[in-house]
Amino acid sequence: MTSERWSTHAIEMRGDVVTKRYGQGDARALLDREWRALTLLDAHAPGLAPAPIAVDRDAEPPTVVMSRVPGVPLRGSPVDGARMAALAETLDTLYGAVPYECLARMPVRPDHWAGVVVRLRGWHGRGPGPSAGDSVRAALNEGMAWLDRPGRTVCPDPSGVPVFGPGDGNLANYLWDADSSRVGVVDFEDSGRSDRAFELAEITEHVSCRLDGGFDTAAFLDRFDLTADERARLRECRRLLALTWLFILSFEDPGQRRNPPGTAELQADRLRALLG
């Protein structure tokens, strides 16, 4: 999940080596999560993510050096059948790569259900940005009414099988390698223990899936053999993260847009559709 902070690091690429410097936020916590993910994935799913080369927590800014993953980001063009199949295969591998005994000791990833709910209530208290239109404001109120309704049964931290969660659904973090017909993964600074429904919602509700067009959410989700409980949780997680994105977009300064005009209004329509 990307929230009010849009960039927490700087990247330098030299040949097959990438240097990542963490300059904003809790830099060492970001680095520690990234390094933990790289070392675990290198041990249990080599080739899926960058291989760890070096880490310096005491540098200013803290720095990780890793191998370069081949390919081009899925963000920026339609995700066709071949890319979608490769993405689903990569995610299946990624979610199950880290052994249970490691996951059991791993903290829940940042911006999981409970953390997101706390953030949303804080944002709701402060209200949307001054440029938010009536349809956006109305959808935000509908979303908060859903979130705060009595009798909510979805557990913030489900008791089912945990998975490794990369923590960011931005399609820019998934790289299509045409030579191997595989998708690699980068950016693990918000990674941690999660559940499959939440991670799939993280991707389907990320604004990158809609800005570029060509991402078939239903076809993507059909590639995963979800239990009935996971499907119910997925529906709720998608609503939660769609509401989160609507708040984020409502705060956007019209003078410094990161997204096309009307994006917040389209997100309001999406949230309403998910709320049913």
Where are the domains positioned within the chain? 70-275
Window from 17-21, 131-135, 184-188 with minimum mean pLDDT: 131-135
Q: What's the confidence (pLDDT) of residue 1?
A: 52
Q: What's the confidence (pLDDT) of residue 5?
A: 41
Q: What's the confidence (pLDDT) of residue 251?
A: 93
Question: Per-residue pLDDT tens for 135-162?
Answer: 999 999 999 999 998 766 566 666 678 9
Cβ contact 116:244 at 8 Å: yes
Among 69, 64, 57, residue whose Cα is nearest residue 34: 64
Residue 5 CA to residue 145 CA, distance in Å, equals 26
pTM for the full predicted model: 0.93
Question: Mean pLDDT across the chain, nearest whole number?
Answer: 91
Confidence of residue 98 (pLDDT cuts 50, 70, 90): very high
Q: Which of the four CATH numbers 3.30.420.40, 2.30.30.60, 3.30.70.870, 3.90.1200.10 does domain 70-275 have?
A: 3.90.1200.10
Among 99, 121, 95, 55, residue whose Cα is nearest residue 191: 95
- Segment 178-188 shows an average pLDDT of 97
Q: What's the confidence (pLDDT) of residue 4?
A: 39
Residue 239 has pLDDT above 80, yes or no: yes
Give percent of the chain above pLDDT 90: 79
Question: Per-residue pLDDT tens for 36-53?
Answer: 999 999 999 999 999 999
Burial of 222 (0-12, 13-18, 19+ CB in 10 A): exposed
Would you list the DSSP string of 215-231? --HHHHHTTS---HHHH
Coil, strand or helix: which one is 181? coil
Q: What's the confidence (pLDDT) of residue 6?
A: 45
